[in-house]
């Protein structure tokens, strides 16, 4: 087959290509000339043509502070509490006798506003409820004031004290410190609860509603309450209002909620220590695999 002449260029194509080539050469020459002129200007220009760097001070709020300018008064850590608002001035604690009512102080919640303080109290019918100053706990008895380790209640017009750890805690407060240090703690060893196959530590944790009991910004215990039904909690040997203080021999003050969940699900057998009625009880909760 003969393809000759089929792809031939027009007669004026040569002149068109020459024109495009000329334009490109002109553009390249102009660009090279500009670069040469710029380089020459930088070489022969006087020093005043380029402005020098002037250091200016930063505004006062963002001035850099060197380590030599920092002065810390560590004694403030011993005399002040950085976690307590300075707007609330501590007042005198009233001298009120300890109550003989069948009430248990489960948790204390303090605020910068005294009117917003509250406390979780277990009533004689074994119900846990949160009260604020002025609320009636049981007929004839109302909450008057919330303190860091106790609450003041009014019983038929007479002020009484309800301690956080029960009557034993109240006696330890007014007793001799040396005698208290020498007195051995009461520990009750309970049986080892065993769940049916399929009940795991995560299942037990999901059925609980642990509330952190804090003092001076440190978690002292987790107050355990059932989230819905108390069946799993009772099978584990726990009771509503128990104060969890150790888990797997670790104090709860070293654990947050996430670490608490990790400890509960870390082994097939979990050892817990709770405070109940002023007594320390150790429980070994075992879970069957299945």
CATH of the domain at 139: 2.30.30
Both 140 and 212 in one domain: the answer is no
Both 195 and 282 in one domain: the answer is yes
Whole-number Å distance between alpha carbons of 101 and 98: 9
Position 171 in a domain: yes
Q: Where residue 26 falls among pLDDT bands split at 50, 70, 90?
A: very high
Query: Residue 230's domain is classified under what CATH number?
Result: 2.30.42.10
Span of 16-25, 120-129, 268-277 with lowest mean pLDDT:
268-277
Both 193 and 271 in one domain: the answer is yes
The pLDDT > 70 percentage for the chain reads 61
Position 223 in a domain: yes
157, 180, 203 - which closes a domain: 180
Provide the domain count of the chain.
2
Both 206 and 176 in one domain: the answer is no
Residue 248 phi/psi, 5-degree rounding, is 55, 45
pLDDT at 148: 79
- pLDDT above 60 (res 140): yes
Both 269 and 188 in one domain: the answer is yes
Hey, which of 14-18, 94-98, 135-139, 194-198 has the most confident mean pLDDT? 135-139
152, 180, 208 - which closes a domain: 180
Position 13 in a domain: no
Q: What angle do CA 215, 283, 101 make, to 5 degrees?
A: 55
Both 202 and 268 in one domain: the answer is yes
**pLDDT tens string 42-94:** 887 665 555 666 777 665 555 555 444 545 556 556 566 556 554 455 555 56
pLDDT at 237: 78
- The whole model's pTM is what? 0.34
pLDDT at 185: 47
Position 84 in a domain: no
Position 207 in a domain: yes
Hey, which of 91-100, 202-211, 257-266 has the most confident mean pLDDT? 202-211
Both 265 and 171 in one domain: the answer is no
CA dihedral 127, 131, 135, 140 (to 10 degrees): 40
pLDDT at 71: 54
Position 196 in a domain: yes
Position 81 in a domain: no
In the chain, the largest separation of any two C-alpha atoms, in whole Å, equals 124
**pLDDT tens string 164-185:** 765 555 444 444 444 444 444 4
- pLDDT above 80 (res 244): yes
Whole-number Å distance between alpha carbons of 12 and 158: 118
Distant-in-sequence, close-in-space partners of 22: CB < 8 Å, separation ≥ 6:
none
pLDDT at 196: 57
Q: Where residue 278 falls among pLDDT bands split at 50, 70, 90?
A: confident
pLDDT at 76: 59
Range of the domain at 240: 184-286
Whole-number Å distance between alpha carbons of 86 and 172: 30
Position 157 in a domain: yes
Summary mean pLDDT of the chain: 73
Both 193 and 229 in one domain: the answer is yes
pLDDT at 284: 79
**pLDDT tens string 92-139:** 556 788 888 888 888 888 777 777 888 889 888 888 888 999 999 999
132, 160, 180 - which closes a domain: 180
């Amino acid at each position: 087959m003969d393809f000759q002449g089929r792809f031939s260029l027009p007669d004026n194509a040569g002149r068109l290509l020459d024109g495009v080539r000329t334009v490109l050469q002109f553009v390249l020459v102009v660009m090279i000339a500009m670069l040469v002129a710029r380089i020459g200007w930088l070489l022969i220009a006087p020093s005043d043509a380029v402005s020098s760097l002037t250091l200016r001070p930063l505004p006062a709020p963002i001035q850099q502070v060197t380590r030599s300018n920092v002065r810390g008064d560590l004694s403030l850590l011993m005399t002040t509490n950085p976690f307590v608002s300075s707007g609330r001035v501590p007042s005198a604690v009233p001298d009120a006798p300890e109550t003989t009512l069948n009430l248990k102080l489960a948790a204390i919640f303090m605020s910068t506003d005294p009117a917003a303080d509250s406390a979780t109290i277990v009533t004689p019918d074994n119900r846990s409820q949160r009260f604020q100053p002025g609320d009636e706990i049981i007929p004839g008895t109302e909450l008057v004031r919330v303190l860091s380790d106790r609450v003041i209640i009014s019983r038929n017009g007479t002020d009484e004290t309800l301690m956080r750890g029960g009557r034993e805690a109240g006696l330890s407060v007014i007793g001799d410190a040396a005698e208290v240090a020498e007195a051995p703690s009461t520990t009750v060893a309970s049986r080892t609860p065993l769940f049916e196959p399929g009940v795991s530590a995560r299942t037990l944790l999901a059925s609980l509603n642990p509330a952190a009991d804090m003092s001076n910004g440190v978690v002292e215990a987790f107050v355990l309450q059932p989230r819905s039904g108390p069946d799993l909690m009772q099978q584990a040997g726990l009771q509503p209002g128990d104060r969890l203080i150790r888990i797997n021999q670790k104090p709860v003050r070293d654990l947050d909620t996430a670490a608490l969940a990790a400890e509960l699900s870390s082994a097939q057998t979990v050892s817990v220590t709770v405070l109940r009625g002023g007594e320390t009880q150790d429980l070994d909760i075992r879970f069957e695999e299945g």
